[in-house]
Each structure stands twice: as C-alpha cells, then as structure tokens.
Amino acid sequence: MPYYTVKDGTEIYYKIWGPENGPVVVFSHGGPLNADNWEAQMFFLANHGFRCIAHDRRGHGRSSQPWEGKNMDTYADDLLALFEHLEIKDACMVGHSTGGGEVARFLGRHGTSRVRKAVLVSAIPPLMLKTDTNPLGTPMSTFDDCRAGMVADRAQFFVDVPTGPFFGFNREGAKNAYDCVTVFSETDLREDLRKIDISVLIIQGDDDQIVPIVASAHEAIKTLKHGSLKIYPGGAHALPDDINKDLLDFFQA
C-alpha cells in the first residue's frame, strides 16, 4: 500500500484511482472516516477521465496513530506533503465535514497556487461552536456530550451516530476520534474562507443534524469571494446521492 512520511515521522496512507494523466481531484474525508468513504465518487470520476487521490488523515484508517498533531494546521500540512510527494498541480479539492475544514485551512494556510477549484460538502466552515461572534453555532455542551459518549461506550457511539443523525435515519423517514471532536467543533475557519480566491462550490442538505446548515453553508457562502451554493432539500449529513454529477459538472465548467 502507498504511504508517504511527514516531518514528524507520521506515515499517511493514500490511494490513487484513474488515468495517470487525467486532471487531479484530491479528496479529504470526514471524521472518523477514511479515504474509502469517497470510493463511489472516485470510481465515477475516474471513469470520466479524472485522476482521483484520497488519503487517510493521521489517526484515521490505515495511517499512523500518533498521540499528537490532531489539529487543523497539522492536517493541512500533512495534505501539503501529499501534494509535494505526488507533485500535484492544478488540482480540484473536495472535502466532506471535517475534511471540508481541512480543505479550507489548506487553502487559507498554503494558498491556491496548486488548486483551481474546491468543493465543500456538509462542511464545518466557518465555525461550528457557538460563541459571542458566532451566535448561530452549536453550544459547547453538545460537543462535551459527544466526547463523553465516546469515553463511556465507544462502540455504541459509533452505532448510534450512523444509524441516526449521520444519514438521517432517526427522522421520520479512540483517542483520535475524541480529539477530532475538538478540531471540528472549535476550529475557526472564517479567515481561511476570506483568503480563498478560487471558485468554491458548497453542497449541503438542509436537514444536516451533524453540521447545521444555518451556521455552516449559509454563513460560509457570505464570506467566499467566488462561492456558489447547492442545497439538497431534506438532505442529511452523509454525502448526497447525486453528488457525483454535481462534482463532474463543476469540475468540467
């Protein structure tokens, strides 16, 4: 399996699907998932001529499990190391949930010289936590309950989330994961969004119970210089069923 090693010795797993000379799409997964969450999109786009690359974020999937480094700056730096390792240029980026924050921080921290377009799907920017300057955010008590649930019964927590709010099934109709709650809930990405000077497509369902749309997509679109928003009526936090066509249309435009 292919790996690359970053400066602190962490080994990051990645996979590549699609023709060698195709235009590149780099995917960033949500937490606590891994690169496999993108297989449907990678298969679809690879069959339309794109070279699709996805990595397992540090502490996730097949990558190393370091005790330190679970913060958005390090995630973005790890991603830059992937770009450098594979000499990626003129890429499109796609991030889901926490991965959307990773994409935003990458672009805000490292610039857009290697990237031509980006897509944020059910993504955490600009800021999930409710603060004096972010009154539409989610109270800290919600994230404290999330962390407490992981510690009390980690197995049950990872049953309850996907069978409930992640896919919307409750509607009619580890350490790394623990640390990830702090990263996705408390990282302020507002300044990163302001720095992005490329076209960004935001995709989100209006019934997202994990990342409420009012405090995420509706706020993020106000900040982006070249942003567009597509809302899936009734859509949950999981990747929308029709996202493949949306990605293809956006990348080919």
Q: Catalytic pick from 97, 122, 185, 216?
A: 97
Residue 78 annotated as catalytic: no
Q: Catalytic pick from 77, 179, 192, 208?
A: 208
The CA distance from 50 to 23, in Å, is 5
Q: C-alpha angle 89/192/203, rounded to 5°?
A: 75
CB distance 159 to 170 below 8 Å: no
Residue 208 annotated as catalytic: yes
- How would you classify residue 87: left for phi > 0, otherwise alpha for psi between -120 and 50, otherwise beta? left
Rg of the Cα atoms in the chain: 17
Residue 241 annotated as catalytic: no
DSSP notation for 30-44: PTT--GGGGHHHHHH
Q: Catalytic pick from 29, 60, 96, 237?
A: 237
Residues with a catalytic annotation lie at 97, 208, 237
